[in-house]
Amino acid sequence: MEFIAFWSILYVHIWFITVILQHENSMFDSKKGDVRMKKMMFALCLILLSSSLFTFGSTNVKAATGSQITLSSNSNSVRVGDTVKVQVNGEQFTDLFGAEVTLTYEPQALQVLEVKEGDAYDDFGAYVNHVDMGELYIPLVRKQLLVNQQSTVRLVEITFRALKEKDTVVEVTRVKAVSSERLTNTQGYKDLKVLTSDLGAGLTIKIAKQIDKAPDSGSGSGQTGSNIAPSPSKNMKQETDALLQEKDPLRAAGKLQSLLNGLNSEPNSADKDVLLKTAGTILDGISQVPVTKEGSGTNETYVITSDDVNTRNALIQGIKESLSKLNMKLPEIEQTNLRAFMGYSLDGRDVNKLGVYRLNEDTGAWEYIWGAIHQAQTNEFTIGVQQAGTYRVMEFIKKYEDTTEIYAEARYATEVLTAKHILNGTSESIFSPSKQVTRAEFASMIVRALLQDQVVTSSGGGATYSDVRTNEWYYGYVETLQQLQIINGFGDGTFRPNDPVTREQMVVIVMKALESLGLAPADNMQTTGEQFEDDQAISGWAKESVISARGMNIVSGTGQNQFVPKQSSNRADTAVFIWKMLQYAK
């Protein structure tokens, strides 16, 4: 029964793939196709191809006399550091629908840089490179169901980098192939015809020693060429210099894209360096989105157009992709995104209560922009541009009915953190300053204050802690701190979100958050500042953090030089603590 069920399911899969492949124009021709669909397709294709593993499930018939899988290359002789492209071809096949190809290579001599399927075939990005074994497994399926009339087809191209001076061999060691013809196998079930194929000869690649650049004559340095940094080629230097002299940043970016796309192979290290420096300069130029100012004073707005956002985004992403294909990456280039600068005049407003807002044209409301960087010294904000629209620098003023009687420092901290949307009231007009802060509430405050751009929005594999469910409002904040290793929870696997947060817990979380942002003090600052009288009551895991925080003027005692580490904190005191932290982190 299991045997019959397997082949019945296999036949359904084959029929489903056939139907989908007949509509290949909607699936394979667009690079922006649905990734989930491609993954599903590939999984089904593997099931299809797996039929060739069962000798009892297919008739072993040759597709054509002399059918074989062969290798060819753009060059059989390279130097260490150069790249070489090896093509895998199918010859004398009239209907090669799918194939699994296994190649072997010497990993000490060659490094796999890219696997690119031929125009008529797709590997769904699912090839497997066993570097330790020097074995490359590539599953392929034809994009069209129609019989291929070409006698020779390009299946896949592998780009290798030469690593070591020697003669090395790349060869195809195994092939499983099927045609699109359906038949009834010996068991009476529908199947695909299995094709047999010969394997062509292995490809020998001769790798020669890299040539060192000779020192300039008459330099008198006595250095050997291997100790002198190589220079970029003359043509590359001329082309990049011309790009940097282009006054229009968009034109410069377009020309850079054309230059990168016109390269037939990966540049040498010297050309890479000059290209990356040029790309960094040009990307920095086009990443600044122009803004049009309208109005004046506190009513001044900034308009960013869709054309500017779309054009610049497309250029940035296109250049990044072109660099990646040439095996050129730099963190600063990968992190390049659109940004805009927005200046303002203070005009009597509280500088600590200013923020950038975007007009929601559907609701008419001004929405707060998280992550805006404030340069108070120059009266300017920098924002990451996610979308076009109308922006404004505004002062947010919120007064609570129950904060008039608390101490002035806490009242001001409450107003500022409300303006920064870090704290909210417990109702529209009530702040509840004496209410205890829970561990979940404090987690949300720290993430909104320092890490809003890193907040986890998806449950992924589920919650880390047994008592933090993915549908709780605080899930994303707690998970963010856990993934950044800022919190660890308790030994029983819980976080205890509704427990009051203690003063020492608050300090440790804040110090770890500052450390994750590179804002933590040097080790020698940990002993700065006078110790508290109740220092012995501080837990060992929190003592260094408390001492450092006091030296940074983030924490102070509760009176009589007492820290009271196990005591919980109310909302007013917590506001003061977070505001001091933000002042340090400026």
Clarify whether residues 275 and 147 are in a common domain: no
The residue out of 351, 366, 395 marking a domain boundary is: 395
Domain that holds residue 22: 2-57
Clarify whether residues 507 and 538 are in a common domain: yes
Clarify whether residues 202 and 347 are in a common domain: no
Clarify whether residues 86 and 44 are in a common domain: no
DSSP state letters, 48-104: HHGGGG-GGGS-B--SSTT-EEEEEES-SEEETT-EEEEEEEEES-S---EEEEEEE
Is 223 among the domain residues? no
d(CA 142, CA 131): 27
Is 443 among the domain residues? yes
Is 403 among the domain residues? no
Is 104 among the domain residues? yes
d(CA 476, CA 155): 45
pLDDT at 129 (0 to 100): 86
The 8-class DSSP code of residue 225 comes to: G
| pLDDT averaged over every residue in the chain | 82
Is 229 among the domain residues? no
Q: Are strands 152-162 and 110-117 parallel, antiparallel or unpaired?
A: antiparallel
Q: How confident is the model at residue 63 (pLDDT cuts 50, 70, 90)?
A: very low
Task: Residue 82: give its domain's CATH number.
Answer: 2.60.40.680
Contact status, residue 520 vs residue 450, Cβ threshold 8 Å:
no
Task: Please name the residue that has the structure tokens 């979940």.
Answer: 440
Read off the pLDDT of each residue in 458-487 and give the average, rounded to a whole number: 87
What is the pTM (predicted TM-score) of this model? 0.60
The pLDDT tens digits of the residues spanning 252-280 come to: 999 999 999 988 888 988 899 999 999 99
Q: Are strands 77-79 and 203-208 parallel, antiparallel or unpaired?
A: parallel
Clarify whether residues 116 and 262 are in a common domain: no
Clarify whether residues 41 and 80 are in a common domain: no
The residue out of 345, 365, 395 marking a domain boundary is: 395
Is 402 among the domain residues? no
Position 40 pLDDT exceeds 80: no
The pLDDT tens digits of the residues spanning 354-370 come to: 999 999 999 999 999 99
- Minimum mean pLDDT among 65-79, 80-94, 318-332: which range? 65-79
Position 425 pLDDT exceeds 90: yes
The pLDDT tens digits of the residues spanning 374-418 come to: 999 999 999 999 999 999 999 999 999 999 999 999 999 999 999
Is 79 among the domain residues? yes
- The Cβ-side half-sphere exposure at 326, using a 13 Å CA radius, reads 24
Read off the pLDDT of each residue in 216-220 and give the average, rounded to a whole number: 40
The pLDDT tens digits of the residues spanning 78-120 come to: 888 888 899 998 888 877 888 889 999 998 889 888 888 887 8
Clarify whether residues 501 and 537 are in a common domain: yes
> Which of 479, 441, 481, 444 has its CA nearest to residue 463?
479
Q: How confident is the model at residue 162 (pLDDT cuts 50, 70, 90)?
A: confident
Residues whose CB is less than 8 angstroms from the CB of residue 320 and which lie 6 or more positions away in sequence, other chains included: 333, 334, 336
Clarify whether residues 44 and 103 are in a common domain: no
Contact status, residue 47 vs residue 13, Cβ threshold 8 Å:
yes
> Which of 135, 136, 130, 143 has its CA nearest to residue 42?
143
Is 82 among the domain residues? yes
The residue out of 395, 416, 442 marking a domain boundary is: 395
Read off the pLDDT of each residue in 212-236 and give the average, rounded to a whole number: 52
Burial category of 74 from C-beta neighbours within 10 Å (exposed 0-12, middle 13-18, buried 19 and up): middle
d(CA 34, CA 561): 62
Clarify whether residues 574 and 430 are in a common domain: yes
| Number of domains, the chain | 4
For residue 85, what are its two tokens?
């492209």
Read off the pLDDT of each residue in 314-326 and give the average, rounded to a whole number: 94
Position 534 pLDDT exceeds 50: yes
Clarify whether residues 263 and 312 are in a common domain: yes
The pLDDT tens digits of the residues spanning 190-206 come to: 667 787 778 888 889 99
Helix H or strand E segment including 510? helix 503-516
Clarify whether residues 319 and 295 are in a common domain: yes
Clarify whether residues 303 and 165 are in a common domain: no
Q: What is the torsional sign of CA 361, 366, 369, 372?
A: positive
Residues whose CB is less than 8 angstroms from the CB of residue 246 and which lie 6 or more positions away in sequence, other chains included: 252, 255
